[in-house]
Chains A and B, each alone.
Chain A
Amino acid sequence: MTHYLRLSSVFLFLFFFACAAPYKDLQQQSAPTSSVLKFKPVFDKVLYRCVVDGRVVFKRFHLSGLLFFKTMEDGSTRAVFQNEMGLTFFDFEWNADDSFQVNKIIPQLDKVAVIKILEKDMNLLLMKKLDRQTETVFTSGKEKYHRFDLQKGVAYYIVNEGKLVRIENAGKSKVITITLGNKGAEKAMPASVFFNHHKANFTIDLKKIESDADE
Chain B
Amino acid sequence: MRSFSLFVVSVLLSCTALGQSKGFQPVKNVQEFQATLSKSNASVNTISSDFSQTKNLTLLADKIKSKGKFFFKKEDKVRIEYTSPYTYLLVMNAGQIAVKDEQKTSKINTKNSKTMQSVNRIMIDCMRGTVLNNPDFKASVFENGNNYLLSLAPVNESMKKMFKSIDVYLSKKNFDVDRLVMMEQGGDFTDMDFSHTQHNIALNDALFKVK
In the complex, the answer to whether A213 meets B103 with C-beta atoms within 8 Å is no
* Known A-B contacts A51-B101, A106-B5, A212-B65; A85 and B86 likewise in contact (beta carbons under 8 Å): no
Query: Is residue A192 contacting chain B, with contact meaning CB distance below 8 A?
Result: no
Query: Is residue A209 contacting chain B, with contact meaning CB distance below 8 A?
Result: yes
Of residues 1 to 41 in B, which have CB atoms within 8 Å of A's CB atoms? 1-3, 5-6, 9-14, 16
Per the bound structure, the CA–CA distance linking A89 and B80 in Å amounts to 20
- Return B108 CB to nearest CB of chain A, in Å: 12
- Residue in contact with B59 in the complex, picked from A82, A103, A215, CB distance below 8 Å: A103
Q: How large is the interface on A (under 10, 10 to 19, 20 to 34, 35 or more residues)?
A: 35 or more
Per the bound structure, the CA–CA distance linking A72 and B86 in Å amounts to 25
In the complex, the answer to whether A62 meets B86 with C-beta atoms within 8 Å is no
- The secondary-structure label for the interface of chain B is mixed
Chain B residues with CB under 8 A of A72: 60
Per the bound structure, the CA–CA distance linking A106 and B5 in Å amounts to 9
- Return A53 CB to nearest CB of chain B, in Å: 8
Query: Is residue B152 contacting chain A, with contact meaning CB distance below 8 A?
Result: no
In the complex, the answer to whether A82 meets B64 with C-beta atoms within 8 Å is yes
Of residues 46 to 100 in B, which have CB atoms within 8 Å of A's CB atoms? 53, 55, 57, 59-66, 80, 82, 85-86, 88, 90
- Residue in contact with B1 in the complex, picked from A49, A61, A66, A212, CB distance below 8 Å: A61
In the complex, the answer to whether B101 meets A45 with C-beta atoms within 8 Å is no
* Known A-B contacts A80-B57, A215-B61; A87 and B9 likewise in contact (beta carbons under 8 Å): yes
In the complex, the answer to whether B184 meets A87 with C-beta atoms within 8 Å is yes
* Known A-B contacts A65-B6, A84-B10; A213 and B158 likewise in contact (beta carbons under 8 Å): no
In the complex, the answer to whether B53 meets A85 with C-beta atoms within 8 Å is yes
Chain B residues with CB under 8 A of A53: 103-104
Query: Is residue A141 contacting chain B, with contact meaning CB distance below 8 A?
Result: no
In the complex, the answer to whether B10 meets A106 with C-beta atoms within 8 Å is no
Per the bound structure, the CA–CA distance linking A60 and B47 in Å amounts to 36
Query: Is residue B163 contacting chain A, with contact meaning CB distance below 8 A?
Result: yes
Of residues 184 to 215 in A, which have CB atoms within 8 Å of B's CB atoms? 205, 209-215
- Return B133 CB to nearest CB of chain A, in Å: 24
Chain A residues with CB under 8 A of B102: 49, 51, 64
Chain A residues with CB under 8 A of B61: 215
In the complex, the answer to whether A85 meets B101 with C-beta atoms within 8 Å is no
In the complex, the answer to whether B1 meets A84 with C-beta atoms within 8 Å is no
Residues of B within 8 A of A (CB): 1-3, 5-6, 9-14, 16, 53, 55, 57, 59-66, 80, 82, 85-86, 88, 90, 101-104, 106, 158, 161-163, 182, 184, 186, 188, 190
A-B contacts, 20 of them at CB < 8 A, read A49-B86, A53-B103, A56-B2, A62-B3, A63-B2, A64-B101, A66-B86, A72-B60, A80-B60, A82-B64, A85-B90, A86-B55, A86-B190, A87-B6, A87-B190, A88-B57, A106-B162, A209-B86, A212-B85, A215-B62
Q: Can you list the 6 inter-chain pairs with the closest CB atoms, starting with the nearest?
A: A86-B190, A85-B13, A61-B2, A87-B9, A64-B101, A84-B88
Supplied contacts A62-B3, A85-B90, 10 more A-B pairs, CB within 8 Å: A47-B64, A51-B102, A61-B2, A63-B6, A64-B103, A85-B80, A87-B9, A88-B188, A107-B161, A212-B64
Residues of A within 8 A of B (CB): 45, 47, 49, 51, 53, 56, 59-66, 68, 70, 72, 78, 80, 82-89, 91, 103-104, 106-108, 205, 209-215
